[in-house]
Amino acid sequence: MNWRIGISSFTYAWFLLSLLGPIGALLASAVDEGASRLWAELFRPEALFALKLTLLITVIVVVINTVLGILTALLIVRHPFPGVTVLNTIVDLPFAVSPIIAGFMLVLLYGPNSLIGGFAGEMGYKIIFALPGMIVATLFVTFPFMVREVVPALQEVGTYQEQAAQTLGASPWTIFWKVTLPSIRGSVFYGIVLTVARSLGEFGAVLVVSGNLINQTQSATLYVYQAAADFNSAGAYALSLLLCATSIVILVLMESMKKYQEGRQA
Amino acid sequence: MSIEVRNLSKSFVDGHMAVRGVSFELGEGEMTAFLGPSGGGKTTILRMIAGLEKPSGGEIYISGQRVDHLPPQERKIGVVFQNYALFKHMNVFENVAFGLRVQKQRPDVIQARVRELLRRVDLQGLEGRFPDQLSGGQRQRVALARALANEPRLLLLDEPFSAVDAQLRKELRSWVRKLQQDLHITSIFVTHDQQEALEIADRVVVFRQGQLEQIGTPEEIYDSPDTPFVAAFVGEVNRYRTVIKNGVTDLGVLQFPAGNVPEGQEVVVIVRPENVELMPWSAAADIQGIVLATTFLGEFYKVDLELADLVRITAHVPKALGGALREQERVALQIKATKIFNVA
């Protein structure tokens, strides 16, 4: 059984170096700076603004992505139309395209010199280098999460419960709220959690479309990036720790959700 | 409520014709069985009556009212699905209450009605259970109570007993039958089990490849089948293909009178095993045979015999007689009833 011990110790070592190590390093460096210093950094107006902006983007993205994701999944599973396989593939595009490139594509489409961006500019709205652009960019990178969670759930649930509801007189609207949605709620919750995690952490696409303007379009990850570049290590540590802690909380939440669902099924 | 179906047909997108011009009429308060092999179109017809499938042609009437253009919500038809399709995230009470809540009934009315239904299906005390905490039989009864909650004018059951084991199936069968009679609700159930159909239905409709083969009482279907297919589907048969010669079937020793079937006509002859009677051998007997094998089947023996000219026949004989038979023993036979069908 020596090879077994070998493989498991290698896995643990790898796990330590690549996953736990960085978190440890961040913690250690942050502790070096001292808690009061970090606390102060968190409450700098620029940092607070960045956190609030990230929160705002996350909330808006979660709402839009949940609605659109469920609708898209329903379309793919329940109302397949010619070309649905193409749509199904395109859904995964954000997984394959680098966020930076995604951001670049959005600038080309919505930038001030583009047709759409130019028209919006005429109307007095700014998309790129403003909040709408950052939301669109985050929507782009998070789009697959909800769809990919809900599609298999809908397939597994099938249509018999909905048909039963039909024969009992329920309208499509009632069926969606009372039958369809509750039976996929676990997956929707999961999709939301993944979307939140990704929205909080998105950097590349947002960097390109935001312009990274302090107190205007600087989100939390952009703030960390800027602070690190400006050798403000305490500022970088403070927000990094906060984002990292949030991610861990989300992870734990996901795990407990999984356990809860498995418990219900048993 | 009476139900009438006229020239109903259904072809699916892939071009498959599941139902081909089916017409029938069912009486009020009757329990009807849709019987046939899988792929016969019986479930598709049931789903079209419920409104879950859109007919490609034809009309459906309930109590004289045409319903085939109505959505399922407006047909007032209760459906028990094959897999029960209970709402998994709702407990037993909420499952049964669903239709009443949709109708926006008062809470006290819902309470009373659900309690009454659960009492009827013998599930008191299980209100708080979720479907995955119930046995197969209990699930089926919840599905039944749910389907009955809105007092439907018609109850449809799609293979209602297929998901439970044999022992429970028999119990549920007679139980559903009794409930149906108590409520006097017009009902249709789909089955591929001929025994089930004969046992609890007032009327049986036999389907084959999307077409109606025969409609009648269980007795008519069993004793006077319209086609060799129906005869073979609803029971065991000996089946012979031959021609009419000199006014009888040309089957060696099995010369059955042709009646008014013309000379030279190709026919299929059907003999049910229970209509083959075995007697002690006598040289004077018209039909003589040799026992090839006997098989004990619980209530009777199945006996395979060979007649003259290598014609084979199977007989069902009572235990007392069957147990005494030996292989290669010579016996005399009498055929008590046959059925002759023209081959088109």
Q: Is residue B146 part of a domain?
A: yes
Beta-bridge partners for B314: B304
Tell me the pairing of strands B65-66 and B77-80: unpaired
| Residue B245 shares a structural domain with residue B207 | no
| Residue B114 shares a structural domain with residue B241 | no
Return the structure tokens found at B188. Answer: 């249709």
Give A110-131 pLDDT, tens digit per residue: 988 888 888 888 888 888 899 9
B216 touches chain A (CB under 8 A): no
Q: How far apart are CA B196 and CA B221, in angstroms?
A: 13
Give A46-55 pLDDT, tens digit per residue: 999 999 999 9
Q: Is residue A57 part of a domain?
A: yes
B261-282 burial, b at 16+ Cβ within 10 Å, e below that, comes to: beeeeebbbbbbbebbebeeee
Q: Is residue A22 part of a domain?
A: no
Q: Is residue B7 part of a domain?
A: yes
Q: Is residue B279 part of a domain?
A: no
Selecting from B74, B85, B89 the residue whose C-beta is nearest the C-beta of A163 gives B85
DSSP type of residue B248: E
| Residue B242 shares a structural domain with residue B224 | no
Q: Is residue A73 part of a domain?
A: yes
Q: Any idea what the CATH number is for the domain that residue B35 is in?
A: 3.40.50.300
Check if the beta carbon of residue B305 is closer than 8 Å to that of residue B299: no
Q: Indicate whether A68 pLDDT > 90.
A: yes
Selecting from B50, B86, B88 the residue whose C-beta is nearest the C-beta of A167 gives B50
First to last CA, chain A: 34
Minimal C-alpha gap between B47 and chain A (Å): 10
Provide φ and ψ at A177, rounded to 5°. Answer: -75, -35
| Residue B197 shares a structural domain with residue B240 | no
Check if the beta carbon of residue B60 is closer than 8 Å to that of residue B37: no
Selecting from B71, B78, B89 the residue whose C-beta is nearest the C-beta of A182 gives B89
Which residue carries 């979307």 as its tokens? A195
* pLDDT at residue B46, as a whole number: 96
Nearest CA in chain B to A261: B89
Kindly list the residues from chain B whose CB atom is less than 8 angstroms away from the CB atom of residue A180.
none
Q: How far apart are CA A180 and CA A162, in angstroms?
A: 7
Return the structure tokens found at A168. Answer: 């009992």
What number of residues does chain A have?
A: 266
Tell me the pairing of strands B266-271 and B154-158: unpaired
**How many other C-beta atoms can be found within 10 angstroms of the C-beta atom of residue B37?**
13
Tell me the pairing of strands B31-35 and B301-307: unpaired
* pLDDT at residue A263, as a whole number: 56
What's the maximum distance between 2 C-alpha atoms anywhere in chain B?
Answer: 82
| Residue B135 shares a structural domain with residue B256 | no
| Residue B253 shares a structural domain with residue B149 | no
| Residue B163 shares a structural domain with residue B54 | yes
| Residue B190 shares a structural domain with residue B241 | no
**How many other C-beta atoms can be found within 10 angstroms of the C-beta atom of residue A168?**
28
What number of residues does chain B have?
A: 344
Q: Indicate whether A262 pLDDT > 80.
A: no
Nearest CA in chain A to B95: A165
Minimal C-alpha gap between A201 and chain B (Å): 34
Kindly list the residues from chain B whose CB atom is less than 8 angstroms away from the CB atom of residue A167.
50-52, 72-73, 75, 77-79, 147
Q: Which domain holds residue A231?
A: 33-99+130-265
Q: What is the CA radius of gyration of chain A?
A: 22
Domains of chain A: total:
1
CB contact under 8 A, B79 and A185: no
Give residues 49 to 78 of B whose Cβ lies within 8 Å of A: 50-52, 71-75, 77-78
* pLDDT at residue B239, as a whole number: 94
Check if the beta carbon of residue B149 is closer than 8 Å to that of residue B117: yes
**How many other C-beta atoms can be found within 10 angstroms of the C-beta atom of residue A98?**
12
Q: Any idea what the CATH number is for the domain that residue A229 is in?
A: 1.10.3720.10
Q: Is residue B278 part of a domain?
A: no
| Residue B151 shares a structural domain with residue B186 | yes
Kindly list the residues from chain A whose CB atom is less than 8 angstroms away from the CB atom of residue B72.
163, 166-167
Q: Is residue A60 part of a domain?
A: yes
B81 touches chain A (CB under 8 A): yes
Chains A, B: CB contacts under 8 A, how many?
67
* pLDDT at residue B305, as a whole number: 94
CB contact under 8 A, B87 and A167: no
Q: Is residue A16 part of a domain?
A: no
Which of A160, A166, A168, A185 should one mutate to test binding to chain B, selecting the residue with the greatest count of B CBs within 10 A? A168
CB contact under 8 A, A164 and B52: no
Helices (H), chain B: 42-50, 92-102, 107-120, 136-148, 166-183, 194-200, 218-223, 228-233, 319-322
Mean pLDDT of chain A: 90
Give A211-228 pLDDT, tens digit per residue: 888 889 999 999 999 999
Selecting from A166, A182, A265 the residue whose C-beta is nearest the C-beta of B72 gives A166
* pLDDT at residue A266, as a whole number: 41
- Residue B36's region, left for phi above 0, alpha for psi from -120 to 50, else beta, is left
Q: How far apart are CA A195 and CA A59, in angstroms?
A: 10
Minimal C-alpha gap between A168 and chain B (Å): 5
The interface pTM score, or ipTM, of the predicted complex is: 0.86
Check if the beta carbon of residue B322 is closer than 8 Å to that of residue B312: no
Distances (CA, A) of A127 to A111, A143, B95: 7, 19, 49
- Sorting pLDDT into bands at 50, 70 and 90, what band is A142? very high
* pLDDT at residue B228, as a whole number: 94
Helix, strand, coil percentages, rounded to 5, for chain B: 30, 35, 40
Least confident of A28-42, A91-105, B222-236: A28-42
pLDDT tens across the length of chain B (344 residues)? 689 999 999 998 888 889 999 999 998 999 999 999 988 899 999 999 999 999 999 999 999 999 999 999 999 999 999 989 999 999 999 999 999 999 999 999 999 999 999 999 999 999 999 999 999 889 999 999 999 999 999 999 999 888 778 888 888 888 889 999 999 999 999 999 999 999 999 999 999 999 999 999 999 999 999 999 999 999 999 999 999 998 888 888 888 988 888 888 999 999 999 999 999 998 888 899 999 999 999 999 999 999 987 889 999 999 888 888 999 999 999 999 999 999 87
Over residues A159-182, the mean pLDDT reads 96
Minimal C-alpha gap between A79 and chain B (Å): 14
Q: Is residue A115 part of a domain?
A: no
Q: How far apart are CA A249 and CA A196, in angstroms?
A: 12
Q: How far apart are CA A232 and CA A239, in angstroms?
A: 11
Kindly list the residues from chain A whose CB atom is less than 8 angstroms away from the CB atom of residue B88.
161, 183
Q: Indicate whether A61 pLDDT > 80.
A: yes
Q: How far apart are CA B82 and CA A160, in angstroms?
A: 9
Q: Is residue B280 part of a domain?
A: no
Q: What is the CA radius of gyration of chain B?
A: 25
Selecting from B77, B85, B149 the residue whose C-beta is nearest the C-beta of A161 gives B85
Mind giving me the DSSP string for B69-118? TS-GGGS-EEEE-TT----TTS-HHHHHHHHHHHTT--HHHHHHHHHHHH
Give SS3 for A128.
coil
Chain A positions contacting chain B at CB under 8 Å are 160-161, 163-171, 174, 178-179, 182-183, 185, 264-265
CB contact under 8 A, A170 and B98: yes
Beta-bridge partners for B293: B304
Which residue carries 């708080």 as its tokens? B128
Helix, strand, coil percentages, rounded to 5, for chain A: 85, 0, 15
| Residue B219 shares a structural domain with residue B244 | no
Q: Which domain holds residue B199?
A: 3-231
Domains of chain B: total:
2
* pLDDT at residue B230, as a whole number: 95
CB contact under 8 A, B83 and A160: yes
Q: Indicate whether A265 pLDDT > 60.
A: no
Q: Is residue B85 part of a domain?
A: yes
User: A69 CB contacts (<8 Å, ≥6 apart)?
Assistant: A143, A145, A146, A147, A149, A150, A191
DSSP type of residue B257: B
Q: Is residue A51 part of a domain?
A: yes
Q: How far apart are CA A218 and CA B300, in angstroms?
A: 88
Select from B38, B4, B16 the least CA-distant residue to B190: B38
| Residue B136 shares a structural domain with residue B246 | no
Kindly list the residues from chain B whose CB atom is less than 8 angstroms away from the CB atom of residue A179.
87
Q: How far apart are CA A181 and CA A173, in angstroms?
A: 11
| Residue B319 shares a structural domain with residue B191 | no
CB contact under 8 A, B79 and A167: yes
